[in-house]
Structure 1
């Protein structure tokens, strides 16, 4: 049984005003609030990635990838990014890919600006073609950094216990939302999404048999705006 995490990381960050995925989760003395922490200058003007084992240098997207890499039940992690993503985010993704080459792959979605469905379809197609052992895809958003390994494991465990399920969705006060696990029976449906339709649209129909797993409200907080990121930072400061 093989489960692949499909990380949607190709958004335009239009509400943030800059690349949100490479923004720090923690304030660092002497650094601007909005600086990324993906690379550091070294001699001769070259750049080297920061060691992301240092939690205080974690970024929004980097923390999501770090969490997924801690979940042994995930055989592979496929990151769908935009070719127009910031150099900082691309550098961070490449560093992690090199460190975890046996589990992590990067896929560029040339049409990501046309809507989320393009990233989903690109990712599903990649899994079909390159990971034939995959039996389920777990769709995760790269801007929800408060997810923890145990949250992902709850979804996986539910599907492992009930293999007849077409999907297992996280749910909170506003209903089902990513992360959502989709068995192979639903991949055709994912590839038929259009425009800016997200994967949870499929859950509104009656064609599929699924389950929901209740997660804490903070799991669904995304870093879409400066105020949203500040709320996430405050949560981390109070709970770390």
Structure 2
């Protein structure tokens, strides 16, 4: 019998983030940086394994990141959008000897997403094994989200920048949305990043 923690986490970190005007994955965040913080959050969760999908600026990122036993997956098609990173990550997971009970897809640029939220998604998935367990954005569900194996084939076909959002929209009856309590901010621009630092300073 599979246990609760037989979940693989897939961190999407392959994009160029041109709007940020610097390597977003390496932006300072306390004593660490944005991507390493995401890796630590994943490793502190109840998941059994973590993979990080890299693409743009891969060599520079790998030189400066401590991956804490997380496996790096290279997406050679990162310029084609987020969907290709999900596809590359799922493809790598399918090559693992031990197949996970499900895959949790998360982004590298959501610093307020914590292991508590990831664990809530994982726990909810354990009781709803046929459903996608997604984060509630209000108007739509999104990642972080847990996908059971019967969705892997569809995830392998994803292209473009929409990621899994369109897929979840089309399968609304198969999605359970979980509140993330204002943890779903994305850092996409220098202004986003500076505002985030100011907000954290005043907490």
What residue in structure 2 maps to residue 205 of structure 1? 170
Matching of residues 215-226 of structure 1 within 5 Å: 215-217=180-182, 219-226=183-190
Flag structure 1 segments of 5+ consecutive residues without an equivalent.
26-55
- Give the CA RMSD over aligned residues: 1.7
Task: Note if contact 2:35-2:108 (Cα within 8 Å) is conserved in structure 1.
Answer: yes
What residue in structure 2 maps to residue 52 of structure 1? none
**Structure 2 CA distance for aligned equivalents of residues 118 and 91 of structure 1:** 23
What residue in structure 2 maps to residue 159 of structure 1? 125
Against the structure 1 CA distance between its residues 3 and 208, is the aligned structure 2 distance closer, same or farther, given a 3 Å change threshold? farther
Deviation at 1:83, TM superposition (A): 5.6
**Structure 1 CA distance for aligned equivalents of residues 54 and 19 of structure 2:** 18
Flag structure 2 segments of 5+ consecutive residues without an equivalent.
none
What residue in structure 2 maps to residue 77 of structure 1? 50
Deviation string for 1:145-172 (max 9, x for gaps)? 111111111111111122232x100013
What residue in structure 1 maps to residue 73 of structure 2? 107
**Structure 1 CA distance for aligned equivalents of residues 31 and 139 of structure 2:** 31
Number of aligned residue pairs: 199
Answering whether residue 164 of structure 2 is matched by residue 235 of structure 1, we say no
Work out which of the residue numbers 113, 116, 129 in structure 2 matches 1:147. 113
TM-score, scaled relative to structure 1: 0.77
TM-score, scaled relative to structure 2: 0.91
What residue in structure 2 maps to residue 127 of structure 1? 93
What residue in structure 2 maps to residue 62 of structure 1? 36
Instruction: State the secondary structure of the residue aligned to 2:198.
Output: helix
**Structure 1 CA distance for aligned equivalents of residues 59 and 110 of structure 2:** 18
Deviation at 1:92, TM superposition (A): 3.3
